[in-house]
Structure 1
Amino acid sequence: MSTNVLDDAPLTGFHKRLAVYSAGGPFLDGYVLSIIGVAMTQITPQLRLSASWEGLIGASALIGIFLGAFVGGYLTDKFGRQLLYTIDLVAIIVCSVAQFWADDVWLLFLMRLLIGMAVGADYPIATSLLAEFAPRRYRGPLLGGLVVMWFLGAAVAYVVGEVLLHNGSEDAWRWMLASAALPATIIVLLRLGTPESPRWLVSKGRLEEAQAVLHKVYGPDARLSDLPREEQENTDLRKVMRSGYGGRLLFISAFWTCSIVPLFAVYAFGPRILGALNLEGGLANIGAAAITVLFLVGCVAGMLAINRLGRRALIIHSFAWAGLALLALGVFPDAPVAVIMTLFAAYAVLIGGTQILQWVYPNELFPTEIRGSAVGVASSLSRIGAAVGTYLVPVALTGWGIGGTMLAAAGITLFGAAISVLWAPETRGLALHEAAMIQSKGTKAATVHTGP
């Protein structure tokens, strides 16, 4: 096993702070995508939204994430991780505040689209920076911890939304949507002064700057010679895809899509879905918040298990058991409330393994030169399905009923299990550059499975 100063460093206060600062983007993502579900209870009657517009507003941030992740990935590979690390959050602050004065459905759609673009841009920026500093032993848990923060943001959003809804005026939804500016401002201030990735600096030939970062983070004895040498010479994403990474991108995009389509639908319309399952009014909102906490529990469990079980076993079991819970919801939509909540709770906990791997796999399976672009492309492609799925939830609930809607969610989740059995690789214990290598004679690299 090769050693180098980044992959084999001890876990320090710097790594912990970087993980917290990087988690700010996922926290805001969970917050802005979830609070719209509570706000919709006021927005729909006040702006007289049709079912189509209701779905479009719910999906608007996801559409923005599709655009932002793709562009953000390209920019972070071209201009660096640190430069864009705070700029994207400033955009979230401005657009969140602007939502307060949105009296037109088109303006609300535009603001949420722009927020989604900023959130999407943060995916490849923050995760690439954390992955390139994280020691191999802690890389999985640290990257998985970003998803834990996504669910924490979602849980906080439901609590804030419920408090504002029952203690505010008919314009409480405006305060809900504008409230994202507060955590975004705090995160921007915390991120100031974060160093650039030395791996990226070396890939661009900026050796003196890379050496300075190594000295700052790892001490005066750290040298450029301690850094791993990545064998991938192609820096153009299209060329690299033709050299063998296309299969990895297909797997990541497919499993990511299957993981988030049902989940985002639950978050955008959680109270309405639970209402259709016979949980009415405030009980539906409380139930949605409780399920969010259980999503958080599932991600924490996945984060703790990722090194013990390995990436491949974790993703297969997570998809399979969560899919069975949704299947039961679809088959028995009229079950007693206790049974409904138990099945939703099981789904929330069991799907956690696939959620944390959304950040681990993409950052491990591609070289430094294209890591940001690959994460951005995979995130963008996954959001197409998520946006379509979220848009169709109100239509599905009306046309198929809650049973049919849950069966569709189960089918998507179980399909994720199938493709994971076929393609999921194992990267546990590998240095970052080793995990990113395409397997060749005499090299140790992640192997993408081509069969059971």
Structure 2
Amino acid sequence: MTTIKTDSSAAEGRALLARLDRLEPGRPHRRLMFQGGLGYTFDSFDGALMGYALSAVIVLWGVTASTAGWLLSSIFFGYLVGALAAGLLADRFGRRRLMMCALLVFCVFSLLMATSSGTAELFVWRALAGVGIGAETTLITPYISEFLPARHRGRFVARTVGFLAFGYVLAGAVAPLVISPHPETGWRVAAVIAAAPVLLLLWWRKNLPESPRYLIARGRTAEAAAIVEKFEREAGAAEETAPAPRGTPSPPAPAAAATARGEGVAGQMAALWKGRMARTTLVLWVLWFILTGVNYGFSSWLPTMLMTAKGFSITKSFLFGLVTALAQIPGYYLAGTLIDRMERKWLIAAYAAGATFSALGVALAGSPAVLLVCAAFLAAFTNGSAAVYYAYTAELYPTAVRATGMGAASAVGRAGAIIAPVAIGYLYGSFGFTNVFLALVGALALGVVTIVVFGEKTAGRSLEQLEGTTA
């Protein structure tokens, strides 16, 4: 009887996945993209705005370059913990619940950060706020991807990640208005402003559905069926009017959530290193470490280096940052346009190569105009690549450990984001502006080689098909 029931549940799960994968994206998919995208917007808004705020604090409080590196990295310590914990917990308790808790954690500690009276206290509150942000950004992509059909998944995920650009632009516009006129109090006001919109997002997300793929993997087929049926109704499609495209293979049985049910945290992490999955995990970790580290190291230190190395005023450095933030929008848009038209690994390689040459241009720039152009291209390429490697990572792990894999990769990326500002602080203090960016060139070149030689192909295949090739 148990075997018959299990076989029936597996068959029903396969049928639900097939319906989900051939459903044309409609209103419910766009709503998820917008809600997830706003999460990225508020996350990047906080990161960029507080980067400007901390740059002002570093100047006002006379913080040394080496100590400043640790202060600028404080958020990434929290990112690392939040990303890893959220990935492990979301594969055991669900994506939706963890996303809601993450936003609440961020709000509380971001408001407390505004009360800081010294660098140590500021470091602690900023790191704890980072736990919430790290968890939130880790879960959005795997959550969104589990609702999307293969033929549209890359474009929708890339556009969702592209919302990051709006947060950077918004921060670049707010910083000169809030921080520059009165830096002594303006940075505290900025911390409050960063937290306020997230409260609205918490309210809006109260009716978010759980991932059907997660529910099927956990054996909760009836709940998954209700969600799929609701999506079909809201998208204006019925099951019988959405036949599978000719030649489309049936999805395999949903992966059992063995690691989530019985093996605990150690089993979840060990699953990332079994069989062919070991190479996948290693490649992804290298990519996340380099690309995230370079991105955040560059963006967190740029305002401070412009003030101390190039003699820019606070306002001028902030306006320079706004221009580089605006450059991210075409970077994300182009990635979203190309992601379903070419193989993911080649697109990541192209963006990483563009970032390499841009960093070289920043290092050798002989005038503010050249520096601005090269910095804008560097921001466009490093941030635009995130739209691709976020989607790429979520595709390469099976449902039972997808959030764990995404969380681990994101945690490794956050480790890069911790190390990069600290390393830049020491490099900048000892070797100067030019050598900092030459070091970034070497790191980016390694990223290009890694993805070209060892990266796997994923474009156009369903998540279930990819599970079969990476098992």
TM-score (norm 1): 0.90
Superposed CA deviations along residues 103-146 of structure 1, whole A, max 9, x for unmatched, are 13222111111111111111332222101001222211221123
Aligned counterpart, 1:63? 77
Partner secondary structure for residue 196 of structure 1: coil
Residue 145 of structure 1 aligns with which residue? 159
Structure 1 stretch displaced more, 184-193 or 367-376: 184-193
Rounded to whole Å, the distance in 2 between the matches of 1:354 and 1:169 is 33
User: Which residue, 184, 187, 200 being the options, matches 2:201?
Assistant: 187
Write the distance in 2 (CA, Å) between the matches of 1:69 and 1:228: 29
**Partner Cα distance (2:66, 2:438) in 1:** 22
In the alignment, does 2:170 pair up with 1:156? yes
SS at match of 1:413: helix
For each residue in 1:139-191, what CA deviation from the matched residue of structure 2 results, as whole angstroms up to 9, or x when unmatched? 11221123312222122112111111234462111011221112211211221
Query: Are residue 284 (structure 1) and residue 298 (structure 2) matched?
Result: no
Asked if the contact 1:366–1:437 (Cα under 8 Å) also holds between the matched residues in 2, the reply is no
| 1:260 matches 2:292 | yes
SS at match of 1:181: helix
For the 8 Å contact 1:81–1:125, the answer to whether it is kept is yes
Q: Decide which of 133, 139, 151 is 1:119's aligned counterpart.
A: 133
Aligned to 1:196: 210
Residue number in structure 2 paired with 1:135: 149
The answer on whether the counterparts of 2:255 and 2:400 sit within 8 Å (CA) in structure 1 is no
Q: Is the 8 A contact 1:63 1:384 kept in 2?
A: yes
1:245 aligns with 2:244: no
Report which stretch shifted further, 136-145 or 286-295: 136-145
Counterpart for residue 253 of structure 2: 229
Contact 1:311 1:426 in 2 (8 A): yes
Q: Deviations over 1:347-396 (max 9, x none)?
A: 23333442212311111001110000000001101211221111222322
Equivalent of 1:80, from 83, 91, 94? 94
Residues 312 and 420, structure 1, Cα contact 8 Å, conserved in 2 = yes
Amino acid corresponding to residue 283 of structure 2 in structure 1: F
- 1:42 deviation in Å? 3.1
Partners of 2:206 and 2:114 in 1: how far apart?
Answer: 27
1:22 partnered with 2:41: no
Matched, 1:166 2:197: no
* Alpha-carbon distance change, 5 to 116 in structure 1, aligned in 2, over 3 angstroms: same
Q: Distance in 1 between matches of 2:335 and 2:388?
A: 9
Question: Residues 143 and 260 from structure 1, CA distance in 2 versus in 1: closer, same or farther, beyond 3 angstroms?
Answer: same
Equivalent of 1:302 in 319, 332, 335: 335
TM-score, normalization by structure 2:
0.87
Partner of 2:391: 360
Partners of 1:336 and 1:276 lie apart in 2 by 16
- Unpaired runs of 5+ in structure 1? 441-452
What amino acid is the match of 1:248? T
1:33 and 2:77 equivalent?
A: no
Q: 1:276 Cα deviation (Å)? A: 5.6
Q: 2: CA distance between counterparts of 1:77 and 1:231?
A: 13
Find the aligned partners of 1:401 and 1:212 in 2 and give their Cα distance.
Answer: 59
- Output the CA distance in 1 between the equivalents of 2:208 and 2:251: 20
Question: In the alignment, is the contact (CA less than 8 A) between 2:272 and 2:405 conserved in 1?
Answer: no
Distance 1:267 1:328 in 2: 16
State the distance in 2 between where 1:403 and 1:378 align. Answer: 30
Matched, 1:390 2:421: yes
Aligned counterparts of 1:73 and 1:289: Cα–Cα separation in 2: 32
Aligned-partner SS, 1:101: coil
Change (3 A) 1:125 1:260: closer
Give 1 or 2: higher helix fraction. Answer: 2
Distance in structure 2 (CA, Å) of the matches to 1:55 and 1:169: 20
Please say if 1:44 is aligned against 2:76.
no
Q: What secondary structure, in the 3-state scheme, does the structure 2 residue paired with 1:307 have? A: coil
The CA deviation at 1:79 is: 0.3
Give, in angstroms, the shift of residue 273 of structure 1: 2.9
Q: How far, CA to CA, are the matches of 2:141 and 2:437 in structure 1? A: 32
* Cα deviation, residue 213, structure 1: 1.5
- Calculate the aligned-residue CA RMSD, in Å: 2.3
- The 1:283/1:247 distance shift into structure 2, 3 A limit, reads same
What is the rounded CA distance, in whole Å, between the counterparts of 1:325 and 1:27 in structure 2?
25
Percent sequence identity over matched residues? 24
Give, as a single letter, the amino acid of the residue that structure 2 aligns with 1:411. G
Q: Distance in 1 between matches of 2:339 and 2:135?
A: 26
Maintained 8 Å contact 1:60/1:387: yes
Contact conserved, 2:251 with 2:464, CA < 8 A, in 1? no
Report the number of matched residues. 436
Checking the alignment, whether the CA contact within 8 Å between 2:218 and 2:256 is kept in structure 1 is no
Give structure 2 stretches of 5+ with no counterpart: 1-14, 241-249, 260-266
The amino acid that maps onto 1:161 is A
- Separation of aligned partners in 1, 2:88 and 2:161: 22
Change (3 A) 1:425 1:329: same
For residues 91 and 240 of structure 1, what CA distance do their matches in structure 2 show? Answer: 28
Alignment-mate amino acid for residue 112 of structure 2: A
**Secondary structure of 2:351's partner?**
helix
